[in-house]
Amino acid sequence: MTYAQTMEYINHFGHTGAPVTDLSRMETLLEALGNPHRQLKFVHIAGTNGKGSTLTYCAEASMTAGIQTGMFTSPYILCYEDRIRVNGENIPRDALCRLGEQVRKHAPELPFSQFEITLAIALLYFLERRCELVFLEVGIGGLLDATNVVDPLVSVITSISLDHTALLGDTVEQIARQKAGIIKPHRPVVLAPANLPEVCSVVRNRAAVVDAPLQEAEQIPLEIRRQDIAGASFVYGGRPYEISMPGLHQIHNAMTAVCVLHVLEQPGYPISEEAIQQGLLHGKVPARIQVLCREPLTLLDGGHNPDGTEALRDTLNACVPKPIYGVVGLIDTKDYQHAVANLEQVLEQAFCVDGFAPNSVPAETLAEAFTRISAMPLPLKAAYAKAVQLAKVHGGTAVICGSLYLASRFLAEMGLSLI
């Protein structure tokens, strides 16, 4: 198949596929492909926020240690291929087409999702590239997520909050039960810091039931020495670390990664302290309070749910010049009213945009949701130009924020680099 034909094949499946009550559909597909997942070693990462950053910190350290490292993330930022990477490099299009054809030929006639087909291609690619360690990010939830067919070396639970409530439940306890479904019998699990007590209780109970050794990252002493828009430096467990992504939430993600990397020593992946330090320092994820320009300071962030916009709000409050002018775009499957409430606590003015996704909130509707500050609908390029102009005139900051889909469209339209 050509690249266009491969993408047509993948996209003809639904975003979610038919509803599932177990993992048999994904298991059937992988069995038809020779069960590639049974020949690979995984770190499995679930959570509402922080999955991508935690994965990146871990993978950077793994690569620094000389380990052939696979990375599976979602959604993509600039192109479909950046969801599937080996040693930081996207899957080449020729490999994508070849493996897509392999999946097409062997896939049984079942109502698969795009995610399931993508995961199957990824697993075949990781096996082909002889990956020694694969960092695997859950799509949605955990218990019934297609990725939960793996038997990981370590399970990781990052920050959990309300999101995807229609699928996962409308309380954090219900959502935590779904996420904690990735915890496997007798396999260690790492829990990220700053989770709600009810989340911690669910994870602890699940770990106890399946006899999974639990490491809570919050129980290790932390001393923050520096925190600004360039990142942070801190001492964790008596060892110094530095990160290049800003925000207290990134310190928490880094703490989680350190715990994961230390746990990996037991199953035979000794990653040196120097490799961990370098992995944290060089770990960056596009559209996570990403600095695009210094004069004026211009940021890009795709935190779209309540916890994501709260993290952005807190970082903007603590780390950037005021006033702050926002280019804001959100999708209607998220709690955009809550996001607006967070953003209008720090923005001087909002320029609302749409059209970056089929379910983007109409710019006019979004502008009306802002009640405490001035907000107006504008096309994306005009909104960006206006926010940057005002930030420059007033010595402040411009931020493009809201949906990760907006961040992806912005980077593509502006021709800007990922980092």
Task: Record the tokens describing residue 5, joined without a space.
Answer: 């034909």
- Backbone torsion region of residue 238, taken as left when φ is above 0, otherwise alpha when ψ lies between -120 and 50, otherwise beta: left
Of 127-141, 379-393, 400-414, the one with minimum mean pLDDT is: 400-414
Question: What residues contact residue 208 under an 8 Å CB cut-off, 6+ apart?
Answer: none
SS3 letters for 59-87?
HHHHHHCCCCEEEECCCCCCCHHHHEEEC
Query: What are the pLDDT digits (tens) for 239-266?
Result: 999 999 999 999 999 999 999 999 999 9
Strands 397-402 and 297-301: parallel
Identify whether the C-beta of residue 46 lies closer than 8 Å to the C-beta of residue 155: yes
H helix count then E strand count, the chain: 15, 17
Q: What is the pTM of this model?
A: 0.94
Q: How far is the C-alpha of 36 from the C-alpha of 123, rounded, in Å?
A: 6
Residue 417: predicted pLDDT: 46
Residue 15: predicted pLDDT: 83
pLDDT band at residue 388 using 50, 70 and 90 as cut-offs: very high
| Identity of the residue numbered 128 | E
Q: How far is the C-alpha of 113 from the C-alpha of 360, rounded, in Å?
A: 22
Q: Give the torsion sign (CA, 385, 387, 392, 394).
A: positive
Residue 413: predicted pLDDT: 83
pLDDT band at residue 135 using 50, 70 and 90 as cut-offs: very high
SS3 letters for 364-375?
HHHHHHCCCCEE
pLDDT band at residue 305 using 50, 70 and 90 as cut-offs: confident
* Closest by CA position to 297, among listed 400, 409, 419: 400
Q: What is the mean pLDDT of the chain?
A: 94
pLDDT band at residue 299 using 50, 70 and 90 as cut-offs: very high
- Helix spans in 283-359 (H): 306-319, 336-343
* Closest by CA position to 396, among listed 347, 323, 327: 323
Q: How far is the C-alpha of 283 from the C-alpha of 280, rounded, in Å?
A: 5
Of 89-98, 369-378, 401-410, the one with minimum mean pLDDT is: 401-410
At residue 301, φ and ψ (nearest 5 deg) are -145, 135
- C-alpha 132: how far from chain center: 22
Question: What residues contact residue 244 under an 8 Å CB cut-off, 6+ apart?
Answer: 230, 231, 281, 282, 283, 284
Helix (H) or strand (E) holding 90: strand 89-90
Token pair 């504008």 in the structure block, residue: 378
Residue 161: predicted pLDDT: 83
**Largest Cα span, the chain:** 61
Q: How far is the C-alpha of 332 from the C-alpha of 22, rounded, in Å?
A: 28
Q: How far is the C-alpha of 405 from the C-alpha of 340, rounded, in Å?
A: 17
- C-alpha 418: how far from chain center: 15
Q: How far is the C-alpha of 80 from the C-alpha of 90, rounded, in Å?
A: 9
Q: Rounded to 5 degrees, what angle do the CA atoms 99, 404, 49 make?
A: 90
